Structure 1
Amino acid sequence: MVRRLFFALVAGLALAGSNAAGMAGPICTLVVDSKSGAVLTENGDCETRVTPASTFKIALAAIGFEEGLLQGPQEPVRQYRKGEVDWGGRAWRGLVDPTSWMKHSVVWYSQRLTRQLGADKLEAWTRALGYGNADFSGDPGKGNGLERAWIASSLAISPREQARFLRGLLNRTLPLSQSAMAQTEALVERFSIDGGWTLSGKTGGAYPRRADGSFDRARGYGWFVGWATRGDTRAVFVRLTQDEVRHSVSPGLRARSALLAEWPALAARFAR
């Protein structure tokens, strides 16, 4: 077991320092104690803000529960409408409830929530939650903030701000009702891994824009953010990567796979 952890740790450190072609280069790996906020692991640039992509769904769920737009893990159920974004495949083209919205990262469900809330209310809430720059203006001159502010557009957040927001959610210190925070925490997908850990987290993937406004699909940002629990130990984690070549698999999914594989080695540094 010790031998496996050693080689996993070496591999994880090599990945963190590598910019080899074909790999996602980590921008930040941040792990903090959920209660005290003490930094347990920090590598890379955890201060610079970038698009939150679908990690924004955690904040949007909390706001949605607080505003009564979400009533529970299965309510409301909504039906896909022709013409709505459907690049997520079959899971996006049928009936979607809050649980499947979060699990499959259904963009059109988010867009219906943001339209119901409106830009003024979204900006007020994200400022109150300390969620990045709280900017829902969207692409300059496009008037599309309610459709894509969080997807490689105006809304931006740093890894450190992600961790601070998640700590507030877990510690129930955000300016939200206890019920809204508890229901949001329960909605986030869980993964059981070796060593008795359960990781709850949300992926996010988006592509930065070039000067001409097109998307640079070889430089995708990948997020995996959430919290890890084993017994009485709970830690908030944030992984942010950026690709160097184009891939067929979402950068967010690959960020998640990498962190789940590396977690036992990362945890070995602080968990006893």
Structure 2
Amino acid sequence: MQLLDGKLAAQAIKEDLKKKTSALQEQGKRSPHLAAILVGTDGASETYVASKVKTCAEIGFESTLKRFPSTISEEELLREIEELNNNADVDGILVQLPVPKHISDDKVINAIDPSKDVDGFHPVSVGNMVSGTPTFIPATPYGILLLLEHFKVETKGKHAVVIGRSHIVGTPMSILLSRKAYPGNCTVTICHSATTNLKEICLQGDIIVAALGQAEFLTADMVKEGAVIVDVGITRVADASKKSGFALKGDVKFDEVAPKSSAITPVPGGVGPMTIAGLLMNTYNAYMKKQ
């Protein structure tokens, strides 16, 4: 069984980006610049954004973090996004979701200039992805592709089962794994809450991507011998034995599924670090398109 270590793969990508950024600076050019907007004080969002800003500093990227109270109006937030759209020195823009309920996620996503949409959520980016046109891929699916590529996981001709149909992971993952490319060339089945024979479908999967957000949902009896398992989920589960009072669990029951798999991602330390790697790659690509 091979552990698909996201920290290891992400580090390789960061080192490569650091070299490329250093080369740009030696040529007298500015560094790629990522701007992030954080609304409110959600703990998980704070952690994610802090990690992104820290990683930018590690590899030599410029980063701007704009913080706003949860009381900011939708109109004000859209104005802030427009300012970043018009800033020629900003290559990538991300608004950490979710935003407060009085602000429309869709309006926020649609307000971002598609040429700076490094989260890959804008309808233009999604349309390009579906049509196979070069574009920004949502960071988590992009990170998964980079992970499979780093560990040279064979995907051609495989049956990939994707559990979950969110626009952030499940749906784009199903499209990307079916495309004529590597990683890709899979026959893909996408499953969700209305799938009636989920276990039977999973047992056919050479590759299973679990992205439904339900702790330890995928068990050993749902997985065939030698399958490749990509666990996208991360859920806090109460655990009195931990100092924090909780443990982080993926969508896969790791201890019983891992012995049956040929390769598997851990949680934490699997897909998580690769999501940031995907975001940074998108930012670098946005910068290079301008050049």
TM superposition score category, shorter chain reference = under 0.3
Larger Rg: 2
